[in-house]
């Protein structure tokens, strides 16, 4: 058993499978969300409340990640963020990437300016299982249909992230393709996307700009 676990950890250094969910505005009314908790509220991320992001992660190990996230405040034209508060305590965050004029390769997957990527969804481990993830999704999808309904929504979920997959399936999203991510000792170098409705797409990502 231990040998199998070691092999599994080693394989993650060289390969990762991700499922791609995509939907358009015409399917919005088919989505199903759980009822939002009364003590849950949302606010858009800004320089005035960014300090709440650090309290959501509650770990100095995430300092490099927090620096990357804070840089997004410099590009409000393409980055939108949401903070979820439970009883006025920040417990989760959700980011939306909106490429403007050109395609953006984010997390080794290309997003066009006709799409929006829902990404960076995180709920503090102490508050998981309280429907916060689903409620943040609902808030983000309502933002989409109000502010940029002309874009398709894309969500990328690792094949082993069972909780996120379950949430996406629960609200009625469908898998539209598979992303095969090839790595070299944990560093992405080749991303291959296959969808029955599109030709195979291949991106060499080793030296691409990180968003």
Q: What is the pLDDT of residues 102-128, one digit of tens each?
A: 899 999 999 999 999 999 999 999 999
Residue among 38, 58, 187, 31 nearest 118 (CA): 31
Average pLDDT of the residues in 42-59: 92
Beta strand 152-158 with 115-123 is parallel
Rounded CA separation 53/45 (Å): 9
- State the pLDDT confidence band at 1, using cuts at 50, 70 and 90: very low
Q: Residue 71: pLDDT above 60?
A: yes
pTM beyond 0.85, yes or no: yes
- Residue 116's alpha-carbon distances to 36, 80, 197, in angstroms, are 23, 10, 19
Q: Residue 141: pLDDT above 80?
A: yes
Bigger pLDDT: 66 vs 64: 66
Taking a C-beta distance cutoff of 8 angstroms, is the pair 45, 83 a contact? yes
% of the chain residues with pLDDT over 90: 73
How big is the chain, counted in residues? 211
Concatenated DSSP letters for the chain?
Answer: -HHHHHHHHHHTTTEEEEEEEEE-GGGGGG---PPPPTTEEEEE--TTTTHHHHHHH--GGGHHHHHHHHHGGG-TTTEEEEEEEETTEEEEEEEEE---SS-EEETTEEE-TTEEEEEEEEE-GGGTTSSHHHHHHHHHHHHHHHH-TTSEEEEEEETT-HHHHHHHHHTT--EEEEEEEEEETTEEEEEEEEETTEEEEEEE-TTSPP-
Rounded CA separation 103/26 (Å): 23
């Amino acid at each position: 058993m231990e040998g199998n676990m070691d092999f599994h950890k080693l394989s993650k250094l060289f390969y990762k499978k991700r499922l791609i969910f995509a939907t358009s505005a015409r399917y919005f009314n088919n989505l199903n969300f759980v009822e939002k908790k009364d003590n849950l509220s949302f606010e858009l991320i800004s320089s005035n409340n960014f300090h709440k992001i650090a309290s959501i992660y509650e770990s100095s190990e995430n300092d490099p990640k927090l620096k990357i996230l804070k840089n997004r405040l410099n590009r409000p034209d393409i980055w939108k963020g949401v903070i979820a508060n439970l009883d006025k305590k920040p417990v989760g965050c959700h980011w939306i990437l909106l490429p403007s004029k050109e395609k953006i390769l984010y997390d080794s997957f290309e997003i066009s300016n006709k799409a929006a990527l829902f990404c960076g969804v995180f709920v503090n481990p102490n508050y998981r299982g309280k429907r916060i993830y689903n409620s943040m999704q609902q808030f983000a999808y309502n933002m989409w249909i109000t502010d940029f309904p002309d874009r398709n929504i894309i969500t990328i979920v690792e094949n082993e992230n069972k909780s996120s997959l379950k949430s996406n399936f629960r609200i009625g999203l469908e898998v539209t393709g598979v992303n095969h991510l090839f790595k070299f000792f944990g560093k992405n170098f080749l991303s291959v996307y296959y969808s029955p409705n599109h030709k195979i797409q291949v991106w060499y990502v080793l030296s691409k700009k990180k968003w």
